[in-house]
Amino acid sequence: MLHAGLHYDPLPEPPRQLHDSGAARWCVVQTHQHSESLAERHLSAQNFRTYLPKRKRTVRHARSVKTVSSAYFDCYLFVSLALHQQSWYPINSTVGVRKLIMSEGLPVPAPHGVVESLMSATDEDGILHPDILLRSGQRIRVIDGPFADQLGILDHVGKTGAVRILLDIMNRSIPITINRDKLAVFS
């Protein structure tokens, strides 16, 4: 029984500027630990388009060495959604999925071009090669560490995640080695 003084107010409509109503956008799905491939299989079985970037890594155990592929971003994968045309509720109850990353009641789409550029650097086996995104001679900006906001030229990309850049310090090109996640391409 409802009281006369109480009334029901529906939740306010979330702002639309963060979310496109038209085309499909890539959204981020958080998975349970080591369940990225399992979640990808189950999402694909539900006709969701997924993208799981992978990397090769070496596993040593009991005097044996194996090269295996694992998720590039631990506990995360991407799913393509047309937010206002497609039901995304089943994603949260999919095997291997912890949750769909949300804001204000709607999935948060990745910025335009981010997932597409990752996909362009992925081979036919699903292995992401980030060195394709970085090329020698590119203008680079350091975004973290003691050289933050310094501009330089990319000199060499290593396989372990380290890159060598040439910074212009006191009218000299000084080579420094830095982790690639501390860099941004300067345009």
DSSP 82-131: -TTTS--GGGGGSTTEEEE-EETTEEPBPPTTHHHHHHHTB-TTSBB-GG
**Inside any domain, residue 66:** yes
105 and 31 share a domain? yes
104 and 181 share a domain? no
Overall domain count for the chain: 2
| Spatial separation of the C-alpha atoms in residues 133 and 87, rounded to whole Å | 33
Q: Which of 89, 108, 130 represents a domain boundary (last residue)? A: 130
29 and 95 share a domain? yes
118 and 178 share a domain? no
34 and 94 share a domain? yes
Measured between its terminal Cα atoms, the distance across the chain in Å is 63
Pick from 179, 67, 74, 68: nearest CA to 130: 179
- Profile the chain (187 residues) by mean pLDDT over runs of 10 residues: 43 44 86 96 96 90 90 94 90 96 92 86 83 78 84 81 84 86 75
93 and 138 share a domain? no
Please tell me the predicted confidence (pLDDT) of residue 17: 45
57 and 103 share a domain? yes
77 and 38 share a domain? yes
Q: How many CB atoms lie within 10 A of CB 28?
A: 18
Domain at 167, CATH number: 2.30.30.30
Please tell me the predicted confidence (pLDDT) of residue 184: 76
**Inside any domain, residue 125:** yes
Q: Which of 130, 148, 175 represents a domain boundary (last residue)? A: 130
Q: Model pTM greater than 0.85?
A: no
Domain at 60, CATH number: 3.30.70.940
32 and 115 share a domain? yes
Please tell me the predicted confidence (pLDDT) of residue 22: 63
Residue 47, Ramachandran bin (φ over 0: left; ψ between -120 and 50: alpha; else beta): left
Please tell me the predicted confidence (pLDDT) of residue 26: 95
Expressed as residue numbers, the domain containing 177 is: 134-185
35 and 79 share a domain? yes
146 and 92 share a domain? no
